[in-house]
Amino acid sequence: MNFKGKRQPVTIPRAAKTLRRTRIQEEKEEQILEAALDVFSASGFRGSTIDQIAEVAGMSKPNLLYYFRTKEAMHRALIDRVLYTWLEPLRAFDAEGNPEEEIRSYIRRKLEMARDFPRESRLFANEVLQGAPHIEDELKGPLKELVDEKAEVIRAWAKSGKIVKCDPYHLIFSIWSTTQHYADFDVQVRAVLGQEHAGEGRFEDAARFLEQLFIGGLRPDRSET
């Protein structure tokens, strides 16, 4: 909390007035966040050090701190950036579409994210797992609102008999958990599958299984009491 005359660094002049960000700023901040994603996603916030990030980013620690004044600021910037894309698949969930096809493509999209952006998934997993000390507001705010909205869609589907009657929240949880499992618990998945089946094909296998499970499990055949 001191700003004793030090030249104010430009760190994240988010929506600042006329302050343009230079080319170097864009590049370096990108470079830093890329490295920070590597480190934070692998060790969590407390377990990561600025030195590690600096080394991965290929720059000196004070140079890092010129762009992001604290470790927290780096983490915060990363979370903010990642949260939006992380929620995209759920946002694409369409009330007008065919339920079976919507769920199928939601699963597929989430699985593709687990395959293509595992670090982003692990970043959140680490954060939530450790009590979400930095993103509690995001969870109770934007996330909850979006889920509430989509849950209402699912509830409507169930009510009109398009899918089996079920708790929409736990349905969403189960899709999250099953798909993200392949990013977050990757080493365990690989270890259990063994070398033979741990190739990239595991995502195909997972997709096949999960679609079968969810489509079969939600089909409004003979609904339970």
Partner DNA sequence: TGTAATGTTTACCAATCGGTCAAATATCCG
Partner DNA sequence: CGGATATTTGACCGATTGGTAAACATTACA
- The residues binding DNA (CB under 7 A) are 2, 4, 6-7, 9-10, 22-25, 28, 48-52, 59-63, 65-66, 69-72
Smaller CB separation from its own copies, 42 or 59: 42
Q: Which of these, 81, 80, 95, 64, lies nearest to 168 by C-alpha position?
A: 95
Whole-number Å distance between alpha carbons of 48 and 68: 15
Q: Under the rule (CB under 8 A), what is the footprint of its own copies?
A: 42-48, 122, 125-126, 128-132, 136, 139-140, 143-144, 147, 164, 166-167, 169-174, 176-178, 180-182, 184-185, 187-189, 191-194, 197, 205-206, 208-210, 212-219, 221, 224
Could you tell me the two tokens for 41? 């996603």
Minimum CB separation of residue 224 from its own copies in Å reads 6
Smaller CB separation from DNA, 31 or 105: 31
Smaller CB separation from DNA, 4 or 14: 4
Minimum CB separation of residue 132 from DNA in Å reads 19
Minimum CB separation of residue 38 from its own copies in Å reads 12
- Cα–Cα distance list, 146 to 34, 99, 153, 183 (Å): 27, 18, 11, 23
| Cβ proximity of 67 and 25 under 8 Å | yes
* Amino acid making up residue 120: E
Could you tell me the two tokens for 97? 């579409």
Contacts of residue 189, defined as CB under 8 A and 6 or more positions apart, other chains included, come to 181, 182, 198, 202
Give which of its own copies, DNA, none residue 218 binds (C-beta under 5 to 8 Å, depending on kind): its own copies
Smaller CB separation from its own copies, 69 or 134: 134
Radius of gyration of the chain (CA): 21
Smaller CB separation from DNA, 53 or 111: 53
Residue 87: half-sphere exposure toward Cβ, Cα within 13 Å: 17
Give which of DNA, its own copies, none residue 166 binds (C-beta under 5 to 8 Å, depending on kind): its own copies
Minimum CB separation of residue 37 from DNA in Å reads 16
Smaller CB separation from its own copies, 28 or 202: 202
Q: Rounded to 5 degrees, what are φ and ψ at 106?
A: -65, -45
* Amino acid making up residue 72: E
Give which of DNA, its own copies, none residue 24 binds (C-beta under 5 to 8 Å, depending on kind): DNA
